[in-house]
Amino acid sequence: MGESLTKKNERGDDAWFCPVRARTLVPKSVREVRESATLGTIWGMTWIVGAAAALGYAVGISDVRVTFGDGSERDCLQKIYPMARFIAAGFAGSVQIGFAMLDGLAHQLRDAPEGQAFLPQEVADCFSPLASDIFQSFPPHERASHSHLMFLGAHPTDDVGIPGYARCSLHVLKSPEFVPTSAPIGEVVSIGSGSGFPPYQEALARLSSNPMSLIQMETAGLGASSVLLSMVVQKTIERNPSPGISPHAHVCLVRRGFVDVRPNDADQYPQSGEKIEFRMPRVATSWNEFTQMASTDCKSSQGAIC
């Protein structure tokens, strides 16, 4: 694993990371990580939105829709997950490549000692060359679906200026190079082809042009700006429906101490007065589960994109 570096945080826990030697961290081959090749696909629509807030947390919001090789769609996939203490990751693009990326990242992060945590920047830097290897191991027609990753992290020792409020970060890695790009605190960014849809671009631009809006929401409680971001995303999708993007979403909150992922379920009350229960459908959380769900619907998981 190489030399590890540690630093005490305010609770006495160690922050830990490995030097940038991603290829030596995963002894099994990328062929074993991805398990099998898939058929070709085309790039469809999806949207994952995130931001690193100024008050000790990062938030990510991901829809759940998948487009199959025959062009049909279904809301059936969780795309954002806790990966380690204070680290979460989401993916867009090829479903199978996305799960292969999460498998590789989980394998790379498996050896953190008890009571210690990874540094978010080091996670992004270490994973970059491995992500490129995994991506290149797939055939060209599968790589044509692209692979975008979003990492959310809370620093285990550094504060943002207020004791106890972690300095949080958001990194985006995109195929084929997967060079980590760090988003400034307060800037709202996204991955997936929904990022290029004009109404969604405009919604993100409005949020990013006023980072104070996220901070002002915190007067309602820690993490309140995640509610604002989720509402903006959901309303934007409802008012500007686009193939491949679902109003159902998972909201991920990362701060020093925990990673929480939950659906954007809500009770809605239209003018008619009749209560509408907006609830997350069943979603797959692994490649095998997704394959089984697709098979039940007489769909092929091969070539699915998200």
3-state secondary structure of 22: helix
* Token pair listed for 230: 């989720």
Tell me if 247 sits within 8 A of 230, measured CB to CB: no
Reported confidence tier of residue 47, pLDDT bands at 50, 70, 90: confident
pLDDT of the residue at 197: 56
* Token pair listed for 271: 């003018």
Q: CA triplet 93, 82, 181: central angle to 5 degrees?
A: 55
Q: How far is CA 180 from CA 52, 161, 214, 232, 259, in A?
A: 15, 25, 24, 26, 21
Q: pLDDT digit string (tens) for 243-272?
A: 678 888 898 889 888 898 989 888 877 777
Q: What is the mean pLDDT of the chain?
A: 78
**Yes or no: is domain 44-296 CATH 3.60.20.10?**
yes
Domain boundaries, the chain: 44-296
Strand duo 116-117 + 14-17: pairing: parallel
Of 11-25, 47-61, 194-208, minimum mean pLDDT range: 11-25
The answer to whether the Cα torsion of 142, 82, 187, 185 is positive or negative is negative
Residues 110-125 have a mean pLDDT of 88
Residues 128-136 have a mean pLDDT of 97
Of 98-102, 124-128, 223-227, minimum mean pLDDT range: 223-227
Helix 95-108 and helix 120-136: axis angle, to 10°? 130
Most confident region among 48-57, 122-131, 159-168, 234-243 by mean pLDDT: 122-131
Residue position matching structure tokens 């491995």: 130
pLDDT of the residue at 33: 33
Tell me if 304 sits within 8 A of 96, measured CB to CB: yes
Task: Output b/e per residue, 82-103; b: 16+ Cβ within 10 A.
Answer: bbbbbbbbbbbbbbbbbbbbbb
Report the distance separating Cα 63 and Cα 247, nearest Å. 7
- Is the pLDDT higher at 115 or at 122? 122
Q: What are phi and psi of 254, to 5 degrees?
A: -120, 125
Asked if residue 199 has pLDDT above 70, the reply is no
pLDDT of the residue at 12: 42
Percent of the chain with pLDDT over 70: 69
Report the distance separating Cα 52 and Cα 60, nearest Å. 9
pLDDT of the residue at 255: 86
pLDDT of the residue at 291: 95
Report the distance separating Cα 269 and Cα 266, nearest Å. 10
Asked if residue 275 has pLDDT above 60, the reply is yes
Residues 222-248 have a mean pLDDT of 68
